[in-house]
Chain A
Amino acid sequence: MERKQARITRKTFYARKIKEAVHLLFFQHHRKPGVKGWELKRRLGSNYPKMLNILDNYLEKLDLQVKTIFEEGKTVEKPTLKHLDKARFYITLRGDLNSEEAKLIGWRIDDIAGLAIAISFITSKGGVVPRKDVEKLLRNKLPDWRVDMNIKRYMQSGYLGEDENEQLYLDWRTRAEIDQKELVELILTADLKLHEGD
C-alpha cells in the first residue's frame, strides 16, 4: 500500500515538473525563445535532463522535439551536466514541413529560398562572408529591391548577423533550427535526388 502511494506521489511529482517544463519551453520569457539549462535546473531541479527526456518522448507523438543547442553551436558527443547547464533548449518541429505548410508560416517562397541560399553559402564559406557577396548571389534569384530587405529580415529574425566589417555570419536561430551540413549536402546532391524522385 505504501509502495503504491510512493509510486503515485512520484508520478504526480514528474507530471507537475513536466507541465512546468512545458510552460518554460513553449512560452517566450526573454527576447529570444528557448530556455538555458541552468534556468531549467533552478525550476525543475538537477534531474531536469530526465524530465526533458520524458517530455521529448511525449512530444514525438505530436511531431515536435526538445532540441539542445550547445554553447556556440558546438557538437558535444557525450554532454556532461556542465555542458547542459550552458546549453539552450528549444521546442522545434521533429519532422519536415511540406511546401504548402511552409507558406502558412507567413514567409513567401522567395523569402525561404533566399534564406536557404544565404545560409548554405555562408556555411560553405566557413561561417563568415562579406555582405556584398551574399547580396550578389541572392540577386540571381530575387529581384534587386528585395535583396536588402530580405537580408534585414533574416537578421531581425536571428538567422543572420552582421559584424562591423560588413560581414554576415550565422546567428542563433540558424544554429537552433537548421542542420547546416545536411542543407549543403542536399543542395550539392540535388540533381540526383530530384531526378530520382521524378
Chain B
Amino acid sequence: MITNGQRKKLGKERLQRVIDVCRSVEKGLDPFSIDIDDIITVVREYFPDWDLPEELCLDAEAIHQLSSVIELQSDWVKRRSTSLYTDPFLLEEKIQLLSKEEIVKLFLKAWDPIVELEQMSFHSLTQSLNYWASLLPLSERWQIIAPLKVDAGATTREELIKQRIFVEKTFSETLEAFWEELKKKIDGEDRIRYWDFIGADTYLKTIERAYMTSFLVTYGYATLEIFRLEEEIFIKPFKKQRSLLGKKQMNSIPISINIEDWRKWRESKQE
C-alpha cells in the first residue's frame, strides 16, 4: 500500500521529469516526440494531492513547459503548410551528391555580397596616437633585466599571513566558526532570514559571507528553506553536521546577490 507521502514524492519526481523532457524540446528535440495526452494525464492524476505552494508551483511549471511544447508543435505545422517549406532530408541528400565546386556555383547565384570600405575614423586615429605616444623606445623595451639579488633572511608566520601567503585559520576552522556564528544569530529561533545572515556593512563582505554560507549548506552544517511565492529564503543551522555528500541527490540553488539587492537590504535595516 502506497502512503500519501510516497505518492507525493513520486508525483513530484514525475512532474520534474515532465519539465526536463519539455525543456529538452526547446533545445532542439523533436516536439512531436512528446505525448501531450500522456503528460496531461500525469498532471491531472497528481493535481488533487498538491496543497503546498511549492507543489502548486511545480504543477504550474509543468503546465507552462507543456504549453511551450504545444507552441513549438503549432509552429512546426504552420511552417510545413507554407510554400517556403523544404524537406531538410532531401536537401541533405542533395548536398551530399553535389561537389563543392557545384555548390559554390549555385551559391554565387543567390549571393549579393555587401560592398563596404573600411577606413580610419577620428576615434581610431586618436586611439592609435595615444598608444604610440605611450610606447617606450625599443631600447628600453628590449632591455635584458638582470634578476634582482635579494639577500636571504628570516620571516615570521604573522608576516606571511599579512602578505596573504599563509592563512590564519584553515578553511574548516573558518567554516566551523561561521557555523557557530549562525547558531548564535538565530537567537532562540530555528532559522534566520538568508539576507539577515549574509548581509554585512559592505557589499564585498556580503559576497564573502554568501560564499561561506554556500559551503555551510553543501557540507551539511545548515539547510535552506525556500518559499518561492513569498520570495523568502531562510537558513536553518543543524545541531550536528549532516554529511549528505554522496548519499543523496544534491541540488544546486542559485541565489543572486547583486548590489541593488544589497542596497535594498541595507535601507530596510536602517529603517
- Interface residue? B254 (CB, 8 A): no
Within 8 A of A (CB), among B158-208: none
Q: How big is chain B's contact interface, by range?
A: 35 or more
Residues of A within 8 A of B115 (CB): 26, 64, 90-93
**Shortest beta-carbon distance, A20 to chain B, in Å?**
16
Residues of A within 8 A of B107 (CB): 112-113, 115-116, 183
Asked if B111 and A177 sit within 8 Å, CB to CB, the answer is yes
- With contacts A116-B104, A137-B92, A188-B94 taken as known, whether A92 is within 8 angstroms of B114 at the C-beta atoms is yes
Asked if A183 and B106 sit within 8 Å, CB to CB, the answer is yes
What 1/0 flags go to B96-128 for Cβ under 8 Å of A? 111011111111111111111111010000000
Q: Closest residue of chain A to B121, judged by CB?
A: A29
- Interface residue? A80 (CB, 8 A): no
Contact among B92, B98, B112, B118 for A190, CB-based, below 8 A: B98
- Interface residue? A34 (CB, 8 A): yes
- With contacts A99-B104, A186-B106 taken as known, whether A123 is within 8 angstroms of B86 at the C-beta atoms is yes
Asked if A65 and B112 sit within 8 Å, CB to CB, the answer is yes
* Chain A residues within 8 Å of B, Cβ to Cβ: 26-29, 33-34, 64-65, 67, 90-94, 96-99, 102, 105, 109-110, 112-113, 115-117, 120-121, 123-126, 128-130, 137, 140-141, 165, 167, 173, 176-184, 186-188, 190-191, 194
A-B contact pairs, 7 of them (CB 8 A): A26-B117, A109-B104, A113-B104, A123-B86, A124-B86, A177-B114, A186-B109
* Chain B residues within 8 Å of A, Cβ to Cβ: 26-28, 75-76, 79, 84, 86-88, 90-92, 94-98, 100-119, 121
